Structure 1
Amino acid sequence: MDVYRQELDYSVLSCLIDIAYKVSSVVSDAIPQSAADFKSFTINLLQFAAEKLGWDPIPGESHLNAMLRGQILEVLAQFGDEETKVEARRRFNSFLNDRSTTLLPADIRKAAYTAVMQNVTSSDKSGYESLLRIFRETDLSQEKVRILGSIASSPDSSVVREALDFSLSSEVRNQDAVFVLYGISKEGRETAWLWLKEKWEFISKKLGTGFLITRFITSVASPFSSEKKADEIQEFFSTRMQPSIERTVNQTIEQVQIRAQWVKHVQQQDGLVELLRELAD
């Protein structure tokens, strides 16, 4: 990954971002003392592209560059780049005061919303409440989806729980509820799993036997990476199995088991902690 520090191609950088999210999750579980170093490494890796693309649309740029700008800013915000978070909040506040401002075009709003949620806690939910206000005011389905995909990204698990409850409210269409699950923070994984178990009867009745219920299972259960959690998932669904979800449950358990093996492999490698500390500088 380190050799791509001056990469600007959409396909390459989009792939790198996807890999960064996955590796960050595994590093956090395998060698948690290096989680911050990996995030710093990723931030440094993307700085060149972030500076080239900037925050504002460039006349004549391709649609792919416009998409890439939002993706890069979002991962920078999520991985804790303070400069990105400050600028995102500045633009978000302008957007709150004037929905027609040019400071927050649609392609970077998800990044700004994610940045706002990084500072939302149970004692200060102003950013979360502002996002819900925008959600309720807009008639645009794309805007609602952007907000839903951001509101569970807070590192505060109680806020994640509130966002998950909101996803099942009458304000959110059934087919849109899953977008909240896509944005669950690392810190909110266990909260989401407990929530799914607690709400399972309600969720299964609400969503029926279609693809939506399988997305709920995959989104909440697959991010784990331990044999213990794989066993826990298997035990929970053993008495709730239906033909419509059996394949998804089995695939989810397999994904967790694969990630568990990845974690074990990482823990057995000598020098990774030192390497990540070196790359983070």
Structure 2
Amino acid sequence: MNKDLSAHFVTNYDRPSYLAILDLAAKDQLSTLDKICLLQDVPLLTRAGIMSSTELLPLAKAFANESNEKVYGMAMMALNELRKFADGDEQLKSALKTVSRDIAQPTYSLLGWDEMAGESDDDRERRSTALSLMIYGESDTALAEAKRRYDLGLSSISVEIRPLVLSAAVRHFESPQMIGNLLDQYTATASSDLQVDIAIGLTSTRSIATISQLLNNLKKPKVIRPQDASRWFIYLIRNNDARATSWQWLKENWSWVESTYGGDKSYDEFVRYAASALLTRAELDDFRNFFTP
């Protein structure tokens, strides 16, 4: 109905019409704007409870071979929406990882890890998206290649995939030496881009000891500059393995956050991003109890 995004409304199609449109998408018989429209509408309808969130899976599968980066990225974002439902359910999480690998495999096989001569910007972006899904899906070959590239040294890693390589290395091959080396490189470098990538990598940890160490570093300006602390906190609380510890840290250190950032634009980021990362009803109740006067 909303042909080429010519109007401002969300369309909820009847079931036969929706399946027919999804089939056209899978056969690459929709225009780019019609694909974007579909990928905007369905997630909105699922969030509103009008469509089931299970519809996001066949939606993403329909675009597994998509060549347009914008469309491909939106389709994979729709797939990523399902991760919140897998929190605490290892069987569902395992199934979602398998599906993520399967959907990303065609693009991963086509584009690989390295930029090719004459490739488009779309290819570079799709490569990063596919690699992210393969690493989330714990593909043995993707994880082994990420570790191999990490071992070659940070300077040898392409900046487009560097945060993915660092995240995979820390999350799946962590050692105290690795954490120490990355923290040393973080404090030594003058590159803000490299610092961001290292922060993304380190905050992907699954180790409670490392999570606690990183949270403690938020109050150490010689390690993490005060203006960067909120970013580290955001990365940590978005990590499901660090969410509970990060939320507890925020409650215990709220007076420090108020005194340090009370007049700064970073102040509300601690609250807003904590609110967006907490998922369960118990966490919602705890959040309300803590912040409600």
Fold shared by both chains (TM-score > 0.5):
yes
CA offsets per residue over residues 189-222 of structure 1, 9 Å max, x none?
A: 1011001111111122222244312222222332
Deviation of the 1:116 alpha carbon? 0.9
CA offsets per residue over residues 78-126 of structure 1, 9 Å max, x none?
A: 3322211111111111115xx3x3xx111110010000111355xx323
From the superposition, tell whether residues 63 and 6 of structure 1 become closer, same or farther in structure 2 (CA, over 3 Å): closer
* Alignment-mate amino acid for residue 149 of structure 1: I
Aligned residues: 231
Q: In structure 2, which of residues 65, 68, 72 is the aligned counterpart of residue 9 of structure 1?
A: 68
Could you state the TM-score of these two structures normalised by the residue count of structure 1? 0.75
Partner Cα separation in structure 1 for residue 81 and residue 227 of structure 2? 25
Partner of 2:158: 105
Larger RCO: 1 or 2 (CA < 8 Å, sep 6+)? 1
Segments of 5+ residues of structure 2 without an aligned counterpart are 1-59
Moved more, 181-190 or 107-116: 181-190
CA offsets per residue over residues 37-93 of structure 1, 9 Å max, x none?
A: 011101110111112221111112233432332333233223322211111111111
Partner of 1:158: 209
- The 8 Å contact of residues 10 and 68 in structure 1, kept in 2 or not, is answered as yes
Q: In structure 2, which of residues 159, 173, 180 is the aligned counterpart of residue 129 of structure 1?
A: 180
Partner of 2:92: 34
From the superposition, tell whether residues 228 and 17 of structure 1 become closer, same or farther in structure 2 (CA, over 3 Å): same
Three-state SS of the structure 1 residue aligned to 2:116 is: coil
Partner Cα separation in structure 1 for residue 198 and residue 231 of structure 2? 9
Partner Cα separation in structure 2 for residue 74 and residue 169 of structure 1? 31
RMSD: 2.1
- The 8 Å contact of residues 67 and 122 in structure 2, kept in 1 or not, is answered as no
Partner of 1:19: 78
Q: Which entry has the higher C-alpha Rg, 1 or 2?
A: 2
Partner of 1:228: 282
Partner Cα separation in structure 2 for residue 93 and residue 198 of structure 1? 37
Segments of 5+ residues of structure 1 without an aligned counterpart are 240-281
- The 8 Å contact of residues 64 and 72 in structure 2, kept in 1 or not, is answered as no
Three-state SS of the structure 2 residue aligned to 1:110 is: helix
Among all aligned residue pairs of Structure 1 and Structure 2, give the percentage whose two residues are the same amino acid.
21
2:120 corresponds to 1:62: yes
* Alignment-mate amino acid for residue 152 of structure 1: T
Partner Cα separation in structure 1 for residue 173 and residue 232 of structure 2? 16
* Alignment-mate amino acid for residue 221 of structure 1: A
From the superposition, tell whether residues 205 and 78 of structure 1 become closer, same or farther in structure 2 (CA, over 3 Å): farther
Q: In structure 2, which of residues 226, 239, 242 is the aligned counterpart of residue 174 of structure 1?
A: 226
Partner Cα separation in structure 2 for residue 134 and residue 65 of structure 1? 30
- The 8 Å contact of residues 221 and 233 in structure 1, kept in 2 or not, is answered as yes
Three-state SS of the structure 2 residue aligned to 1:119 is: helix
Partner Cα separation in structure 2 for residue 64 and residue 169 of structure 1? 40
Partner Cα separation in structure 2 for residue 94 and residue 57 of structure 1? 18
From the superposition, tell whether residues 20 and 128 of structure 1 become closer, same or farther in structure 2 (CA, over 3 Å): farther
Could you state the TM-score of these two structures normalised by the residue count of structure 2? 0.72
